[in-house]
Amino acid sequence: DTGVSQNPRHKITKRGQNVTFRCDPISEHNRLYWYRQTLGQGPEFLTYFQNEAQLEKSRLLSDRFSAERPKGSFSTLEIQRTEQGDSAMYLCASSFTESLTEAFFGQGTRLTVV
Amino acid sequence: AQKITQTQPGMFVQEKEAVTLDCTYDTSDPSYGLFWYKQPSSGEMIFLIYQGSYDQQNATEGRYSLNFQKARKSANLVISASQLGDSAMYFCAMRPFSGSARQLTFGSGTQLTVLP
């Protein structure tokens, strides 16, 4: 499979627990993006990596959220002390250039906080 | 800041007919790019078509064309000869060419249903 891979596909967690999602981009892509999509809405930008450097962060990325890309390959998104409002689809995308027309999205991780 | 407005929550079209999905945008950036994505039930966002704000001609990509009217700040997607497989959510998005250039701003989407 040469697409963007996200794991797990679904996650149900209790409020207050920590969760971590993983994104494996297309192998030669050095740019990686995280988006959040709540029900009935379009995706909202969370953060952007170029190689291992986190170059942009949205104000949506509160102190409870942290994203890493330690070796410039896969990335993780952690949410601490989850809240019901964190329930959403978390989408990852990757690209080789800055042209977003060449960005590919994964199928997302759907988080449900109960 | 950028804003995308999609006023059609749902649209129906007969198979083989053409359909137009509306998108208006607001931005203070002098140059920007406009995108359309398809999101099937499997969840991934599939890139369809792109229009740069300084492109003189409307973009076309197979059965997809973008009706770009800069003065009206609209970027409608036209799908010709609809197919059952076109049933999905469709999102309009934009990015500026300065500042937050790596960030796409999406609209709320239009659910398209193609009827046999």
**Bond prior to A8 in cis (omega within 30° of 0):** yes
Nearest to A48 among B4, B102, B108 (CB): B102
Please name the residue that has the structure tokens 């892509």: A29
Is the distance from CB of B32 to CB of A83 less than 8 angstroms?
no
Which residue in B has a C-alpha nearest to residue A98's C-alpha? B102
Render pLDDT for A19-45 as a digit per residue (tens, 0 to 9): 999 999 999 899 999 999 999 999 999
Render pLDDT for B16-70 as a digit per residue (tens, 0 to 9): 999 999 999 999 998 999 999 999 998 889 999 999 999 989 999 999 999 999 9
- Using a CB–CB cutoff of 8 Å, tell me whether A58 touches chain B: yes
Residue A1's pLDDT band, with cuts at 50, 70 and 90, is low
Q: What is the 3-state secondary structure (H, E, C) of chain B?
A: CCEEECCCCEEEEECCCCEEECCEEECCCCCEEEEEEEECCCCCCEEEEEEECCCCCCCEECCEEEEEECCCCEEEEEECCCCHHHCEEEEEEEEECCCCCCCCEECCCEEEEEEC
Is the distance from CB of A108 to CB of A6 less than 8 angstroms?
yes
Task: Check B4 against A42: CB less than 8 A apart.
Answer: yes
Is the distance from CB of A19 to CB of A11 less than 8 angstroms?
yes
Three-state DSSP class for A61? coil
Which residue in A has a C-alpha nearest to residue B91's C-alpha? A42
Which residue in A has a C-alpha nearest to residue B36's C-alpha? A101
Tell me which amino acid residue B82 is.
Answer: S
Residue A97's pLDDT band, with cuts at 50, 70 and 90, is confident
